[in-house]
Amino acid sequence: MRTRPTLTWEPSGDLPPATTDVRPVVESVRAGGVVVLSGAGLSTESGIPDYRGELGSLRRGHTPMTYQEFTGSEQARQRYWARSQLGWRAMTRAEPNAGHRAVAELAAAGLVTGVITQNVDGLQQAASTPDVIELHGSLSRVVCLHCRAVTDRADLDRRLREANPRFEAEAERHRSARVNPDGDVELPDEAVREFRVVPCAACGFGVLKPDVVFFGENVPPERVAACRELVAGATSLLVLGSSLTVMSGLRFVRQAADAGTPVLIVNNQPTRGDRWGVRVELPLGEALRDVVAGVRDGTTRPTSGP
């Protein structure tokens, strides 16, 4: 029997204490050679909730669909694509926030030399950050599990609208439903029961899947290798808005720590990586604004926040 992948993590009592002092982050960024690893917390100020924060989707009872569920059940795929039809539209309306813009500014200044994002919303790229590695893929693309053709999500949106003309009425009724980090919204069974899923347009019958890494699915090895190469060349690793609960991101923290590379984490809650780095416990947007300001004016601010 398959077990569900790790979705939550409870901190133990032996974690090092956090700080509200942004000076370690400012000093590391000022030295350059920073690789950023970002998580869902970076996008919360854009209106996309994270998984495990105070208002995270897991706390609201949302359970992300696993790869095994998606590939093994036609009903699961129907439920996913119906919910995603609303969630993807909400994602496209989201805009980069101060945190995304801060990372982009530091990259433009040559201080951040690489960005690895666990997010699938494309907001870091929308902030004009170059060469972002999408660790978990992107909701803007769709892949066929048979012929492997990759197509644009907007094209699938058009096809799904044509196949489900009456779904628009349901969409209006549930337009206020909260989007989840994986790009879907909660819908009642009656809203998805008649939803028609379309096959791959390239081969005519293949199952379509968002080009993202589901829970229970492995990150492509070549993508992991590219991330490891970035981290190996980093002067420091800066983790932004990730609880590091899942191994896909935590492995890079461990890699950096094993190599003696400083790890700095900005997150309002304890993370699974705290024992390998210094965690700054501040709201992300606020902390990054202070970091950018400190780098710009050449000063090192001792604290941020009240």
How far apart CA 295 and CA 301 sit, in angstroms, is: 10
Q: Which of 37, 40, 42, 80 is nearest to 56 (CA)?
A: 40
Q: What SS3 class is residue 103?
A: helix
Q: What SS3 class is residue 112?
A: strand
How far apart CA 233 and CA 225 sit, in angstroms, is: 13
Cα 274 from chain centre: 19
Task: Give the tokens for residue 234.
Answer: 């980093």
Q: Is 136 a catalytic residue?
A: yes
Q: Which of 131, 134, 196 is nearest to 161 (CA)?
A: 196
Active-site residue, selected from the candidate residues 100, 136, 146, 174? 136
Query: Using only C-alpha atoms, what is the Rg of the chain?
Result: 20
Phi then psi for residue 26, to 5 deg, are -60, -45
The residues carrying an active-site annotation are 136
